[in-house]
Amino acid sequence: MQLPSSLPQVVLETPRLLLKELNPAITDHIYTSWTDAQLSDYLGITEAELAAERENYRKGLTTFRLSFKHFLLVHKATDIVIGKAGFHSWHLPHARAEIGYSLFIENVKQQGYMTEALAAILAYGFDELKLNRIEAFASPRNEPSMRLLQRFGFTREGLLREHYFKNGRMEDSACFGLLRSEYYGIRKEIKQG
């Protein structure tokens, strides 16, 4: 499905990916105009996963001071959505957002796709959204995610005990932060790395 021309969409490009923006206006359009099958295909999720996403949409994804900007990770060679990454809990007045990311397909993991995507998304966050701080939370048991954050210069700032509910139980979160000044200080190293 194509979006109408009245809904401009940011598309970031990396060597192997197109990162297609999902913002509140685009989300409103697709959830009110498209069928479940069209939504599942566009978002790269199963119809069962779509039920949970529809419920999140129904409950409201933004407020007067809170927004989001996600990107679908589309594999250029296959035109398949392999994941999603971007900013949620975007506190507009405070120039602060939480970054989240996920790969949907098991066989694309450990191939550098998320490293590629996050390089573009972090640059967009600091350059275009004018963020001052980007936060990330990872399970202390998720070593690959914590290594990825540290690769981009995030500082581990602490542990939030029983911070989120997953799989029927409360889980801890390792808290990470990256400031604009830190990012610009290591930006060249990130691009070369």
174 neighbors 156 (Cβ within 8 angstroms): yes
146: number of Cβ within 10 Å: 18
Distance CA 159, CA 137 (A): 9
End-to-end C-alpha distance for the chain, whole angstroms: 36
Higher-confidence position of 186 and 156: 156
61 neighbors 24 (Cβ within 8 angstroms): yes
- Going from the C-alpha of 95 to that of each of 26, 31, 129, 146, the distances in angstroms are 22, 28, 8, 23
pLDDT at 179 over 60: yes
61 neighbors 68 (Cβ within 8 angstroms): yes
pLDDT at 192 over 60: no
- Residue 16: predicted pLDDT: 97
* Percentage of residues of the chain with pLDDT beyond 90: 76
12 neighbors 71 (Cβ within 8 angstroms): yes
Distance CA 182, CA 162 (A): 29
- Residue 191: predicted pLDDT: 60
β-bridge pairing 155-166 and 169-179: antiparallel
Q: Is the entire prediction scored with pTM above 0.85?
A: yes
Q: What is the mean pLDDT of residues 51-64?
A: 81
What are the φ and ψ backbone dihedral angles of 101, each rounded to 5 degrees? -160, 150
120: number of Cβ within 10 Å: 17
What CATH architecture is 10-131?
A: 3-Layer(aba) Sandwich (3.40)
The residues spanned by each domain of the chain are: 10-131, 136-193
Q: Which tens digits make up the pLDDT trace of 94-133? A: 999 999 999 999 999 999 999 999 999 999 999 999 999 9
